[in-house]
């Protein structure tokens, strides 16, 4: 069964969202580099690559369904933040928005009786739970740290250990 135009448009938009997510995490990484938090910067750069992989997963899926991929312009992400906590809160807010958009795409796939897309989007639903949890844990650690710079440096070193 061919993909409906509404499902195709939804996935096209979501490819753009995932590429924007990659761009956002790269911007967050650049900010952390600028305030000498290389571990945060590294963690965020790995996350940027993961988001790029998500976009490509959808890109490949649309191609697999014999549909044309239409790439949309990517908006410029913010570049100024107040702190590491502000960076991670921005990441969590964005992840929650992405989760909402995936849920909307899934609901549309249900409405359009597109079972293949429903199955494909299940992976993204599970992934979003993991992404939100991981960022939320870092935020909670930053809140516990407060203004203790030695504890922030320890967390920075821990985050640097993340590999793709």
Look up the domain containing 46 and give its range. 5-70+82-159
In a domain, 77, yes or no: no
User: How high does pLDDT run on average in the chain?
Assistant: 96
Tokens of 157: 């070193």
Query: If pLDDT is split at 50, 70 and 90, which confidence band does 74 have?
Result: very high
Give the count of domains, the chain: 1
In a domain, 48, yes or no: yes
Q: What's the whole-number mean pLDDT along residues 124-152?
A: 95
CATH label of the domain that carries residue 150: 1.20.1260.10
Element (DSSP H or E) covering residue 130 = helix 115-145
Cβ(48)–Cβ(29) under 8 Å? yes
Q: What's the whole-number mean pLDDT along residues 73-89?
A: 97
Q: Has residue 1 got a pLDDT over 80?
A: no
In a domain, 75, yes or no: no
In a domain, 164, yes or no: no
Q: Has residue 27 got a pLDDT over 70?
A: yes
pLDDT at 2: 85
In a domain, 62, yes or no: yes
């Amino acid at each position: 069964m061919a993909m409906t135009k509404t499902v195709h448009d939804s996935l096209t938009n979501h490819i753009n969202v995932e590429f924007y997510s990659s761009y956002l995490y790269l911007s967050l990484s650049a900010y952390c580099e600028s305030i000498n938090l290389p571990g945060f910067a590294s963690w965020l750069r790995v996350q940027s690559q993961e988001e790029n992989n998500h976009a490509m997963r959808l890109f490949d899926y649309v191609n697999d369904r014999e549909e044309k991929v239409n790439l949309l312009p990517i908006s410029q992400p913010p570049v100024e933040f107040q702190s590491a906590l502000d960076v991670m809160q921005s990441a969590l807010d964005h992840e929650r928005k992405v989760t909402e958009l995936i849920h909307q795409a899934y609901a549309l796939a249900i409405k359009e009786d597109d079972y293949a897309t429903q199955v494909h989007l299940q992976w993204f639903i599970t992934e979003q739970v993991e992404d939100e949890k991981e960022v939320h844990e870092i935020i909670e650690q930053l809140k516990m740290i407060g203004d203790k710079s030695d504890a922030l440096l320890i967390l920075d070193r821990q985050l640097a250990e993340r590999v793709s």
